[in-house]
Amino acid sequence: MIEETLIPKIGVITDIRKDTPDVKTFRVVGTDGAKLFEHMPGQCAMVSVPGVGECMFSITSSPTNKEYMEFSIKKCGCVTEVLHALEVGAYVTVRGPYGRNFPVEEDFKGKDLLFIAGGIGLAPLRSVINYVRHYRENYGKVVIVYGARSMDDLVDFDEIKTEWMNEKNFEVYLTIDRPQEGWDGHVGFVPAYVKELGLDPNMTAVLCGPPIMIKFTLAGLLELGFDKSRVFTTLELRMKCGVGKCGRCNVGDKFVCKDGPVFRMTELDELPDEY
């Protein structure tokens, strides 16, 4: 077969983890049991259930995992609904990796890192956080601020509690929108929490979450003295091809699939406000 990026590879789901009431994490390998392809943190892949459709998802597992890939997927549309109904052993198709990754080997190296996520926004960050854990000596302090609607909506809560919170030089701050029985942690929205925490503005920050959270959190960070050129985020728009040809995921002259999904805040400032 002549290689064609639009023709996917076949993947088998080997594990499904129900993270929250509407988020499941799918573990996928090739039909030969091996990992489908290599990627870098922040890159995406097109996952499809033939007959239903194909959608772009962030690869949530770290590239350092050489055995499989994981996708944390929120149920919110036609394709994700069908994906959520699948069982272990089901076949899907996967193609990628697509897009520009987080600059883990460039800008991030040697820096103190701040990760701020809201809800399913943790998905793309999980890949980079675990990458940083794997190459721990290459990076400085890591601060994670993660918020969700409720305790049950915190994606990967187990991993956060058992692994991230115990990692050397890691600070993890969790918050939920409203008080809840069994929760003795912080309550409140992410942007406000970020300001309360009085974070060190010399950190390199990565934001991921709903647009409204990004907007207010960014404002908060700027107030704290963060430099926009050291704040990164990811964008999400409708995609079909994943390689900058089908023409629908552009913001100005940039295609999110190809030139993103990772953008530096200063880059976004130069683009029209249409995302």
Chain contacts with another protein (rule: CB under 8 A): 1-8, 10, 50-54, 76-78, 80, 89-91, 93, 236-238, 240-241, 243-253, 270-272, 274-275
Nearer to another protein, 1 or 181 (CB): 1
CB 179, min distance to another protein, A: 27
- Amino acid code (one letter) for 273: D
Nearer to another protein, 205 or 256 (CB): 256
CB 23, min distance to another protein, A: 14
Smallest CA-to-CA distance from 191 within 223, 163, 166 is with: 223
CB 99, min distance to another protein, A: 13
Nearer to another protein, 156 or 259 (CB): 259
Nearer to another protein, 80 or 130 (CB): 80
CB 13, min distance to another protein, A: 10
- Amino acid code (one letter) for 212: I
Nearer to another protein, 220 or 242 (CB): 242
CA distance 157 to 265: 28
CB 125, min distance to another protein, A: 19
Nearer to another protein, 46 or 142 (CB): 46
173 neighbors 115 (Cβ within 8 angstroms)? no
Contacts (Cβ under 8 Å, ≥6 apart) of 123: 57, 58, 60, 71, 72, 155, 208
154 neighbors 169 (Cβ within 8 angstroms)? no
The total number of residues shown for the chain amounts to 275
Nearer to another protein, 58 or 80 (CB): 80
* CA separation, residue 159 to residues 113, 129, 156, 166, 270 (Å): 19, 11, 5, 10, 37
CB 171, min distance to another protein, A: 31
Report strand pairing: 250-251 vs 254-255. antiparallel
203 neighbors 112 (Cβ within 8 angstroms)? yes
CB 89, min distance to another protein, A: 6
CB 134, min distance to another protein, A: 29
**Measured in whole angstroms, how far is the alpha carbon of residue 182 from the centre of its chain?**
27
202 neighbors 128 (Cβ within 8 angstroms)? no
**How many alpha carbons lie under 13 Å from residue 118 in its C-beta half-sphere?**
23
Nearer to another protein, 54 or 104 (CB): 54
CA distance 108 to 208: 16
